[in-house]
Amino acid sequence: MQTKLNISKHYLLFLFTFIMLIKFFIVRMMIFEQTSFFLTLIVELSYLLIIFGAIEFIQSDRIKKILYVTVNLILTILLLGVVIYYNYYGYIVTLNALTLLDQVGTIKDSVFSLFKPIYLILFVDFIVMLVYVIIRKKKSIPEAKKNYVLITIFLLIGLVGTAINLYIQKDAEIANSVVAAEKQGILNYEILAVLNNVANNNKTMTSAEIEKLPKTIQDLKGITPLSEDQLKWHGIAENKNIIAIQLEAFQDFPIHLEVDGQEVTPFLNDLIEESLYFNNIFQQIGPGNTSDAEFLFNTSLYPSAWEASSESFGNRVIPSFPKLLKEQGYATSTAHANDVKFWNRINLYPALGFDKFYHGEFFGNEDVIGIGPSDEVLYAKVLPELKALHEDNQKFYAQFVSLSSHHPFKIPETKNLLPLPEKYQGSIVGDYLQAIHYTDQTLQQFVNVLKEEGMWEDTILVLYGDHFGLQPNGLTETDFPLLKELVGRDYSYLDQFNIPLIITVGDQAITEVNETIGSQIDIMPTVANLLGLSLEDYIHFGQDLVNYPDNLFGIRYYMPFGSFLNNEISFKPLEGFDDGQALDIHTAKTVEDFLQYEEDYDRVLKLMNLSDRYMNSLPVR
């Protein structure tokens, strides 16, 4: 039988390329509000031609069809992950972060709450394909030869287009991930992110550079070290037990907040009266979220820019707060009621040098709220362990990672909820306030037991938020007026990233509200001063906020690369410095003339680069 040479044999190439272009167009409309299909064609087509063109060379039609559907599914899931992540975090997630999808089961309630029915449009083609398979009637199709010339041309077009795109964009430094993905194309952005991550991981330091690093950091931050006798409150908590509690999704604005005459955090409001309270502290977490906050507190180093620090550095020998304290005779432990494999903490905790870590199995399944046992269970289970150490006169450092106020902030009604006006019922803001109020209650119970057991006066308690709870992209239209009323202005990223830091020395009533601008990278050096713990030979990028109030630090991932805060402004670039945006750090009002701060922008980029290179230089465990 004579065979025909035509392009109909390759209809799947055209069909699936068109389907994926439509999906990319839909996602680009959702994220970038872009309505140009032609631009989608320009920036997204080349990779699709390479992928589907390669599939066309496969001889077996059955295998080819399976691969088309599989690749379609993989790319669709990628797009779904990108749009969900963006719609909550405001960031274009990278493939490095998406490799942690196996953890979705742990936070499924949070993820499901972010899913919108409109996202199902990305899966319409699968329904059509299923219906077609069910109702189609098999019929004989004349055999047609594959047009390898045509396939090769498509493949070459894809390769050339991709090569040109990568070449043009490889050195482009676009600070904002959303702008980068819009201009480069989503797939190109993902590939460049992987390449940049690999390149960044290969940047290390020589031993001579590491030796000079403390002085280099001080010079970049403009710090002139003070002598010990010049340091305020140096050593007032020397040899005390240390309890650090990292508060899940705890922002600063609920502190001292009253709703309809009801205090949201009555216990913390009272505790602050005998504490050192920092009200201008900002989160610096990266893709690792809560685990990055743990890393920041225990190292005073910048977290990884591209993936969770626990993934990037969990196999390293990391200088840390627990290791410094062990040299002073402290026993060290950390406690989190979730599975220790979540965020690779099973490797992070040994890398940080903790003697013990209490996790999921230790706490069981009692009184579960959201993704794990309640904070009440967390404190109650670990406290006897600490009491035993205290009775043996063994100094300890114990870190708790609270959990119950995790998104989506659903606290059972049996937990003595905060009476809220009707307008808060069913709102995300209302649920968040309830979660914060519950956190406050459990802290009060915990501190009361410390006092009853005679442990309070021998303790320095450190409380700090790990990251934001209320993300603008995750709010509804009814939430914004509520937030504006609570915050007293339009809710901005300054309100979103502002977390509390409260330090209480049990036997000393320090009453001070410190308004110094600081970040999570500064917490450990601040606590070290109160303990009288020298950091002279310890490489750190933070500073003691009590004695060094002039600050400069960077935030990345949840803000564009090069974003920084100093004592006057917060700044975030768009593509670079010149097209960036500055806000007054105290009023959140736009600062039009920010050119004088370009040196701070350059210094922050250098500081974060130094931190990355230093971390990459640490030996593997």
Partner residues linked to 552 by β-bridges: 566
Residue 276 three-state SS: strand
Ordered DSSP codes for 468-490? -S--GGG--TTHHHHHHHHHSS-
Q: What is the dihedral of CA 530, 535, 538, 544, to 10 degrees?
A: 60
Predicted local distance difference test score (pLDDT) of residue 139: 57
Confidence band (pLDDT; 50, 70, 90) for 150?
Answer: low
Q: Is 290 annotated as contributing to ligand binding?
A: yes
Residue-range definition of the domain harbouring residue 414: 234-542
Partner residues linked to 537 by β-bridges: none
The verdict on 520 and 415 lying in the same domain is yes
Domain endpoint, select from 180, 201, 222: 201
The verdict on 167 and 266 lying in the same domain is no
Q: Which amino acid is at 440?
A: D
Task: Say which residues have a Cβ less than 8 Å from residue 309's Cβ, sequence separation at least 6.
Answer: 286, 288, 291, 292, 295, 303, 348
The verdict on 65 and 156 lying in the same domain is yes
The verdict on 104 and 161 lying in the same domain is yes
Q: Which amino acid is at 330?
A: Y
Partner residues linked to 262 by β-bridges: 259
Confidence band (pLDDT; 50, 70, 90) for 42?
Answer: confident
Q: What is the dihedral of CA 95, 96, 98, 100, to 10 degrees?
A: 160
Burial of 106 (0-12, 13-18, 19+ CB in 10 A): middle
Predicted local distance difference test score (pLDDT) of residue 38: 85
Query: Is pLDDT above 70 for 140?
Result: no
Structure tokens at 426: 């069913």
Task: Say which residues have a Cβ less than 8 Å from residue 40's Cβ, sequence separation at least 6.
Answer: 21, 24, 25, 28, 34
Among 578, 582, 558, 579, residue whose Cα is nearest residue 568: 582
The answer to whether position 583 is within a domain reads no
The verdict on 193 and 239 lying in the same domain is no
The answer to whether position 293 is within a domain reads yes
Q: Is 578 annotated as contributing to ligand binding?
A: no
pLDDT (tens digit, 9 = 90+) per residue, 217-266? 999 999 999 999 999 999 999 999 999 999 999 999 999 999 999 999 99
The verdict on 414 and 502 lying in the same domain is yes
Q: Is 248 annotated as contributing to ligand binding?
A: yes
Helical ranges in 488-597 per DSSP H? 493-497, 523-531
Residue 318 three-state SS: coil
Domain endpoint, select from 176, 201, 226: 201
The verdict on 59 and 173 lying in the same domain is yes
Per the structure, how many domains does the chain have?
2
Cα separation, 350 vs 356, in Å, equals: 9
The verdict on 152 and 285 lying in the same domain is no
Domain endpoint, select from 542, 560, 576: 542
- Asked if 114 and 108 count as a contact pair (C-beta separation under 8 A), the reply is no
Q: Is 437 annotated as contributing to ligand binding?
A: no
Number of Cβ within a 10 Å radius of residue 608: 21
The answer to whether position 550 is within a domain reads no
The verdict on 485 and 407 lying in the same domain is yes
Specify whether 94 is catalytic: no
Task: Say which residues have a Cβ less than 8 Å from residue 68's Cβ, sequence separation at least 6.
Answer: 12, 16, 52, 55
Of 518 and 202, the structure prediction assigns the larger pLDDT to 518
Partner residues linked to 564 by β-bridges: 554, 571
Cα separation, 27 vs 454, in Å, equals: 58
The verdict on 182 and 247 lying in the same domain is no
- Asked if 410 and 391 count as a contact pair (C-beta separation under 8 A), the reply is no
Cα separation, 456 vs 42, in Å, equals: 64
The verdict on 250 and 128 lying in the same domain is no
pLDDT (tens digit, 9 = 90+) per residue, 461-486? 999 999 999 988 888 889 999 999 99
Q: Phi and psi at residue 64, in whole multiples of 5°?
A: -60, -45
Among 252, 290, 284, 258, residue whose Cα is nearest residue 495: 252
Predicted local distance difference test score (pLDDT) of residue 8: 61
Query: Is pLDDT above 80 for 97?
Result: no
- Asked if 471 and 84 count as a contact pair (C-beta separation under 8 A), the reply is no
Quickly tell me which residue has 């063109």 as its tokens.
53
Predicted local distance difference test score (pLDDT) of residue 105: 41
Of 95 and 4, the structure prediction assigns the larger pLDDT to 95
pLDDT (tens digit, 9 = 90+) per residue, 520-530? 999 999 999 99
pLDDT (tens digit, 9 = 90+) per residue, 176-192? 888 888 888 888 888 88
The answer to whether position 157 is within a domain reads yes
The answer to whether position 472 is within a domain reads yes
Q: Of the residues 17, 40, 265, 290, which is catalytic? A: 290
The answer to whether position 223 is within a domain reads no
The answer to whether position 525 is within a domain reads yes
Query: Is pLDDT above 60 for 104?
Result: no
CATH code of the domain covering residue 456: 3.40.720.10
Among 19, 21, 72, residue whose Cα is nearest residue 46: 21
The answer to whether position 548 is within a domain reads no
pLDDT (tens digit, 9 = 90+) per residue, 416-466? 789 999 999 989 999 999 999 999 999 999 999 999 999 999 999 999 999
The verdict on 267 and 162 lying in the same domain is no
Predicted local distance difference test score (pLDDT) of residue 166: 65
Among 351, 398, 407, residue whose Cα is nearest residue 378: 398
Ordered DSSP codes for 158-200? HHHHHHHHHHHHTT-----HHHHHHHH-HHHHHHHHHHHHHHH
Q: Is 256 annotated as contributing to ligand binding?
A: no
E strand or H helix that includes residue 334: strand 331-336
Cα separation, 98 vs 375, in Å, equals: 29
Structure tokens at 3: 């065979």
